[in-house]
Amino acid sequence: DADVTQTPRNRITKTGKRIMLECSQTKGHDRMYWYRQDPGLGLRLIYYSFDVKDINKGEISDGYSVSRQAQAKFSLSLESAIPNQTALYFCATSDLAGTGRSTQYFGPGTRLTVL
């Protein structure tokens, strides 16, 4: 779905480095999410935002921070990367979760490797 884009698509970094992953969407959705995917663990929520002034922690927010710069942009930062943050990261957007049209649309993913 080209309406949700992520940069970079792949990143290799070293322990202790600061990393920012960016997500942009043209779907006009208010709600944006960051997930990480690990083999056998499914998709786990890191942070989510319902509008520019709203930021909420997910189940695995430790070691991560986010910034909602605009309705269309949601960035995920790793302040000091560690090897167990090696994973596939997905950004997603949705409209009204749980009511009406609540489909989540995922970006293409960012594969992050921390050495």
Partner 1 sequence: GENVEQHPSTLSVQEGDSAVIKCTYSDSASNYFPWYKQELGKRPQLIIDIRSNVGEKKDQRIAVTLNKTAKHFSLHITETQPEDSAVYFCAASAGNQFYFGTGTSLTVIP
Residue closest to 19 by CA, chosen among 59, 65, 72, 84: 65
Figure out which of the listed residues 42, 53, 70, 84 binds partner 1, where binding follows CB under 8 A.
Answer: 42
Contact 16, 115 (CB under 8 A): no
Q: Which is nearer to partner 1, 63 or 105 (CB)?
A: 105
User: How many angstroms separate the CA atoms of 67 and 59, rounded?
Assistant: 17
84 binds partner 1 (CB under 8 A): no
Figure out which of the listed residues 10, 53, 62, 98 binds partner 1, where binding follows CB under 8 A.
Answer: 98
User: How many angstroms separate the CA atoms of 92 and 25, rounded?
Assistant: 9
- Residues that bind partner 1 in the complex, under the rule CB under 8 A: 1, 33, 35, 40-45, 48, 50, 56, 58-59, 90, 94, 97-99, 102-109
